[in-house]
Amino acid sequence: MVNIGEFARLGGVSTRMLRHYDAIGLLEPADVDPSSGRRSYDVAQLPVLNRLIALKGLGFSLDEVGVLLGEGVEPAQLQGMLRLRQAEFERRMRHDRHALDRVTARLRLIKQETQVTAQIETKQVDALTLAALSATAADASRLSTGAVVYSLFGQVIERMEAVTADRTTPVAHYVSSAGDAEVQVTAGYAVPADSVPGLATYSLPAAEVASTIHQGPMSGIATAYQTLARWAEANGHHQILEAPRWREHYLEADGEDESHWIVELQLEVGELG
């Protein structure tokens, strides 16, 4: 038996919350001293407290938690509930991250309106896992890579829709080899670690990148590529242009009318870690 303060420490909650759970009948102490009113708990009650906290974290009301605890929640069942909740949080985070990137891109475009040249930003980007497909383009021209990336996205979307997989943050990754005209093209959507049936799991490492924002039809994105290439040359990064690794993050790319599309083009300067 331990006192309420020690039980609160072991369970990672406050004594106030334990008193509240006692008052509403969710978790009563193992013993209450009749003269002092001091509560004591059995260490064996910790699994009940852990389930209570986990169920609250899943969004259940305390009344619903009481019913579930009364029915008895098996560890495997609780783990399944928590995994579903975790997946939902990850989905929200991906969508929020994408929304934030869109707002940031708009702010950069507004700032760019008063500048003669496009704004280049260097930053660190987190690692990203894609559900994706890859193929080889004959060369680095937009005519060649554009056809490949459109085809890949079409296949990825079809396969993700078939299994009702959540789609957000579309990304295309282009990898060239020194002295080789061919370009490896990968296209997909950010996903959690779990794979999507029919698609490969493709990992983009955390990296330092130089980026600029392109607005409008993809046929005109060559200007953004040239801007970043000139930046690399001017800032002592000419070696990365020998075998460049490019990322296109499609922030607003809905519909066939590309006049309103917004794409963040990133040139990988170096991997982090």
- Shared-domain flag, residues 140 and 194: yes
Domain holding 249, by residue range, is 90-271
- 98 shares a domain with 160: yes
Question: Is there a single domain that holds both residue 101 and residue 180?
Answer: yes
Residue of higher predicted confidence among 110 and 133: 133
Decide if pLDDT at 168 tops 70.
yes
Number of domains, the chain: 2
Domain CATH for 57:
1.10.1660.10
Say how far residue 198 (Cα) sits from the centre of its chain: 21
User: 67 and 95, same structural domain?
Assistant: no
What is the chain's alpha carbon radius of gyration, rounded to the nearest angstrom? 26
Q: Clarify whether residues 106 and 30 are in a common domain.
A: no
Question: Given this model, what pLDDT does residue 193 score?
Answer: 67
Percent of all residues in the chain with a pLDDT value above 70, rounded to a whole number: 96
Domain boundary (73, 99, 118) is at 73
Q: Are residues 65 and 94 in the same domain?
A: no
Ramachandran category for residue 235: left, alpha or beta (phi over 0 → left; psi -120 to 50 → alpha): alpha
173/222 same-domain check = yes
pLDDT of 187 strictly over 80: yes
> Residue 211's pLDDT is what?
95
Greater pLDDT, 60 or 212: 212
Mean pLDDT of the residues in the chain: 88
Mean per-residue pLDDT for 34-53?
90
Write out pLDDT tens, residues 116-150.
566 899 999 999 999 999 999 999 998 899 999 99
Q: For residue 150, what is the domain's CATH number?
A: 3.20.80.10
Q: Tell me the H-state helices in the chain.
A: 4-11, 15-23, 46-57, 62-71, 75-112, 142-162, 222-234
Are 148 and 240 contained in the same domain? yes
248 plus 197 within the same structural domain: yes
Give the N- to C-terminal CA distance of the chain in Å, as an integer: 47
Residues 42, 157, single domain; the answer is: no
Averaged pLDDT, 251-264: 90
Same domain for 31 and 117, yes or no, is no
Residue 96: predicted pLDDT: 87
pLDDT of residue 204 exceeding 80, the answer is yes
Residue with more model confidence, 71 or 4: 4
